[in-house]
Structure 1
Amino acid sequence: MRFIRIDMKERSIREDAVPPEYQGLGGRGLIAACLNREVPPRCHALGSENKLVISPGILSGTPFVNTSRLSLGAKSPLTGGIKESNVGGTPADLLGRHGVQALVVEGRPESGSWMLLHIDRSGQVALRECDHLAGMGTYETASTLKSEYGEDCTVLCIGPAGERLYAIASVQATDTDGRPCRAAGRGGMGAVMGSKGLKAVVIEPPDEDRVQIADPGGFRKAVAEVVRIIKSDPMNSEVMPELGTAALVAPVNAMGAFPCYNARKGVFEGWEKISGEALAELLKKRGGKPRHTGCSRCIIHCSNEFVDESGAYVTSSLEYETIWAMGGMLGVDDLDTIARLDFMCDDLGVDTMNAGVGMAVAMDSGHAPFGDREAVFRMMEDMARGTGLGPVLGAGPVAVGRHFNNPRVPAVKGQSIAAYDPRAMLGQGVTYATSPMGADHTAGNMVGAYLTNQLNPRDKAGQVEVSRELQIAFAAFDTLGLCFIAAVSFLKPDSCASFAKAVGAKMGCEFGVEDFRQMGMSVLRAEREFNRRAGLLSRDDRLPKFFYEEPLPPTNAVFTLSDQELDSVFEELNES
């Protein structure tokens, strides 16, 4: 495997042997290990000592299905702690096929041109000046780079938000259609990339695949079993292809857990207009694609392609979290408006969730009425131009709350919550509070446990235990490069055992369910250690005060877990 260091101050590239301490790691696990060893936890997130680590999962680049997840990590300018941000599309697959375990972007240019990192078909890596891309949105950036390096290349890039070092800036990745509509959105990785003077990474398909599989025969057999398990899951074989992640709009509203109007209510009055069913019907009527393959090696097809009334492309994919953030949180019940906002976020290069919640806090503070679509577009344009409220919104929802002196900011460790209110989903609140990532929608998502009646979402019983196990599992999945949707199929012990066989065949070792769990625990242990040394304390593993005190209509639920119960989540890690 190839371990490549890029020094942006010296504009030099060095390919090292994989350090022994990083052997057998990828994705989120490699990021946790690398940042702990190489980045001073108290450094400035946008300074020269921070490092941006780009790493495909252990299984990425292999024929294993749904493993095209790429991890980008650094000390976060948003949370002040460690951050892994995960993105699909095509880059993880190509990096894996090039045999790249990690790209470690170091240093900071004192001045000079914007640069791009180019990996050509032979695997050669070079830095090139790209000042002609400065100020471009991600769509124009990707289009320009494809015209220069070939239509089949993959692009990772930042937009104007990353150039301006907005703390909510994303890194956008091209999908299978070549559009930069996949976002490593959480934690401000776009700002870290911008601080390094790196505008883009261009990856050409390799002339020769360099991915290594220790036991090809055993791997093929294990992958066939994995495919059978994924396809036998009704959620993955029926619901996701038809409705995508937007399928969650209806059931989460039915639970009274859809935070809207800056989390003042748990049911959005216009939810039927923005549901997965409404989205699928609209796309079929217009000739869009309710079923779409956005990521390499995907067999679930949960993506979609949104088109306007004339059939022209608007965005892809319109996901549940974005429908919530740009819809319910802002009081907007129109899919066309939400789709336009999604495109604007992708092109500007900002996280839709932090952007939407920041604008909701502004509206909650009297800046504009909820549901005022033109006001929302003005706020987005302010971010794009860097004028008015734009820089405050770009700094994240907590900064917006400070600006308006409004304490009702639904965020943990500086990062906004996702589309599940912790008062009506207590275990989701446990995950929000205790994840090293800050409030997060993939670090230990509890919605499946509620929809399958494994837990009562408003009963404390079992919430800590299930959140803990899901956080452990998804830390391992993120290390392996498996997508969140497919990963849900492997949460049961028997299916996890089949999945673990494939991992063992890839790595050339015995790998079982307990090894999988230990992998996740080691990742979380390293992340928590970084955060501890960065100055984050147990008091940072808490939800905002209003979640404990303000009943959520219509259930009038509040968050009821104590500080002691939250502190108990990772006692096992501390004792190991």
Structure 2
Amino acid sequence: MNTKEVDFQEVKDDYTLFGGRGLIAKIMNEEVDPQCDPLGENNKLILCPGLLTGTMAPCSGRLSIGGKSPLTGTIKEANVGGVAAQLMAKLGLKAVIVEGKQDDDSLYMLIISKDGAELVPAGKYAGMNNYALAEALHADFGSKIGIVSIGCAGERGYRNSTIQVTDTAGNPSRAAARGGLGAVMGAKGLKAIILNVSGPSDSQYADKESFKTAAQNFTAGVRDNAFSGKVLPGFGTAALVTAVNAMGALPTNNFSTGSFERAEEISGERLAEIHSQRGGSNGHACQAGCVISCSNVYNDEQGNYLTSGLEYETIVLNGSNCGISSLDIIAKIDRMCDDLGLDTIETGATIGVCMEAGKIVFGDGEGSLRLLQEMTDGTEFGRLLGQGTELAGKALGVKRIPTVKGQSLAAYDPRSLKGTGVTYATSPMGADHTAGNTIGSRGVKPHLKEGQVEASTQAQVTMAALDNLGICLFTSTCLGKPENIGHLVSMVQAKVGGEWDADKLFATGITTLSMEKVFNKKAGFTEKDNTLPEFMYSESLPGSNNIFDILPDEMDKAIPF
């Protein structure tokens, strides 16, 4: 960014079998000093589609965005749907790497097309949030472009800031949310990346016919699974609210209890009712080629579009975790977060500690919106909140701060879902549910400690492997059947060539985790950082009396790569 140069390079031979998260980990270890300032010129922002992105593989349009996180200080990969990954594949891009840093406060855009790429001044878009920015860019460059952008949160360096990606309708509703990578993009002086390409993808296959057959078989496996084929299309991820509440693992009132007495008001069933009343919809795909369609379009009381992708994590962290049972309030929070560019998970946890500190009371939805408005306006207190849950909680004198490595827990209380607690603690990226959620793991009881380390390890390896491929994590629900693993392996083999089996496929996940751990160790992290907040070990959940009781020496056995 400091030289304003754009350079195309051939893909290195040893990058061939990496994509998405794995390629980010490899580039970070080779090119980024782990001790660097995340917002300094030596950090890099890396965008990578997966190995199968741009192919006929179902649900393969996920984009990995990575760098060193200003929120956690660790390596970070944030995963997002939308149109960007598929457009990058059409452009033949293995990765986009943003280096250096602006010497002043000027902003630029990176425009990429079949004709090349250029950095152009973006001062006219400075100070725009994501929805206004998307509208302006569509007016200036056409309706078919894909946009990767930051709002004012990223421009201001909020450690909780996201990078937004436009969806198939052109709305910037998809968030590479966790870890504050929007601040990295903002620090570099990059306001947006515009991907301008149309037409079919020109993907190359080692064996196209075999790939087509394997993709069809894997699609059938995903659709035949009860969760990915029926529950998610019908109710979206909000279907989990009722189930997790029944488990006693639904974060409520800043993780003080695991059940919410008004859970039905924020459930998938209630969400579906609102859609039917207002002309919204479930069964919305966040990316082209998705056969699950777990997302939604949420309309306001007048029937006008408000937000897209009102998901379980957003609903719980900004709902039950804050004592709020109004989906309308939560949807407004979601829209404001997408617009400003804030992680809804971190935001809900931050508001939760504000409530615990007495800034507003639990259940005060309008108060939550006021706090978000302070973040939007950039008041002194709003800027503090934008730095994330841990800094805000410490500044407010809160002792019960639900974070690991500086990042807030997601929407599962680890005292009742202990395998996910192991993932929160041991993931190289902080408390990240997409790194290896163990809900539904076979052979373990979620509230007991037995088998949880092994379940977490298996989940983390699987998720890392899928992130390499650019495949949605919800396809993993069908991998309990060996034949579906076989179809996935067959797709990879038919795409890149060579001999593949399940061990080789999942070894990519192991290699990714190993590289991430190497980076973190050089950044100064040790096993002592792999721990949950103290209150998870000392405070039992009301009703179940569950407590997190997996000891450090047991935790050290997770992801032993």
Alignment-derived partner of residue 74 in structure 2: 81
Instruction: Assess if the C-alpha contact under 8 Å between 1:358 and 1:396 holds in 2.
Output: yes
Distance 2:217 2:287 in 1: 21
Give SS of 1:24's match: coil
How much has 1:294 moved relative to structure 2? 2.4
How much has 1:284 moved relative to structure 2? 0.5
- With normalisation by structure 1, the TM-score equals 0.96
Instruction: Assess if the C-alpha contact under 8 Å between 2:415 and 2:421 holds in 1.
Output: yes
Alignment-derived partner of residue 348 in structure 1: 340
Q: How does 1:250-329 map to 2 (within 5 A)?
A: 250-329=242-321
CA offset digits 1:315-357 (Å, max 9, x no partner): 0011000000111111110010000000000000000000110
Alignment-derived partner of residue 364 in structure 2: 372
Which of residues 118, 139, 157 in structure 1 aligns to 2:131? 139
Identity across matched positions, percent: 44
- With normalisation by structure 2, the TM-score equals 0.98
Give SS of 1:16's match: coil
Code of the aligned partner of 2:121: E
Q: How does 1:83-482 map to 2 (within 5 A)?
A: 83-111=76-104, 113-120=106-113, 122-206=114-198, 209-449=201-441, 454-482=443-471
CA offset digits 1:43-96 (Å, max 9, x no partner): 000000000000000111112110010000000001101000000011111111
Alignment-derived partner of residue 527 in structure 1: 516
Give SS of 2:401's match: coil
Instruction: Assess if the C-alpha contact under 8 Å between 2:419 and 2:452 holds in 1.
Output: yes
How many equivalent residue pairs? Answer: 561
Instruction: Assess if the C-alpha contact under 8 Å between 1:493 and 1:513 holds in 2.
Output: no
Distance 1:154 1:220 in 2: 27
Distance 2:360 2:144 in 1: 44
Give SS of 2:449's match: coil
Instruction: Assess if the C-alpha contact under 8 Å between 2:144 and 2:198 holds in 1.
Output: no
CA offset digits 1:385-418 (Å, max 9, x no partner): 1104211111110001110121211110111111
Give SS of 2:47's match: strand
CA offset digits 1:417-458 (Å, max 9, x no partner): 111000011111100000001001111011122xxx632111
Code of the aligned partner of 1:362: C
How much has 1:201 moved relative to structure 2? 0.7
Q: Does 1:49 align with 2:42?
A: yes
Instruction: Assess if the C-alpha contact under 8 Å between 2:228 and 2:477 holds in 1.
Output: no
Alignment-derived partner of residue 516 in structure 1: 505
CA offset digits 1:476-510 (Å, max 9, x no partner): 10010001112322254332121011011110121
How much has 1:112 moved relative to structure 2? 5.0
How much has 1:207 moved relative to structure 2? 5.1
Q: Does 1:29 align with 2:50?
A: no
Distance 1:158 1:424 in 2: 36
Distance 1:195 1:366, change over 3 A: same
Distance 1:372 1:181, change over 3 A: same
Give SS of 1:496's match: helix
For structure 2, list consecutive stretches of 5 or more residues without a partner in the other structure: none
Instruction: Assess if the C-alpha contact under 8 Å between 2:242 and 2:263 holds in 1.
Output: yes
Distance 2:105 2:127 in 1: 15
Distance 2:223 2:24 in 1: 31
Q: CA RMSD in A?
A: 1.1
Code of the aligned partner of 1:85: A
Distance 2:190 2:481 in 1: 41
Distance 2:107 2:116 in 1: 20
Distance 1:396 1:568 in 2: 30
Give SS of 2:435's match: coil
Distance 2:467 2:507 in 1: 14
Distance 2:448 2:171 in 1: 43
Give SS of 1:470's match: helix
Instruction: Assess if the C-alpha contact under 8 Å between 2:84 and 2:147 holds in 1.
Output: yes
Distance 2:238 2:559 in 1: 32
Distance 1:475 1:88 in 2: 16
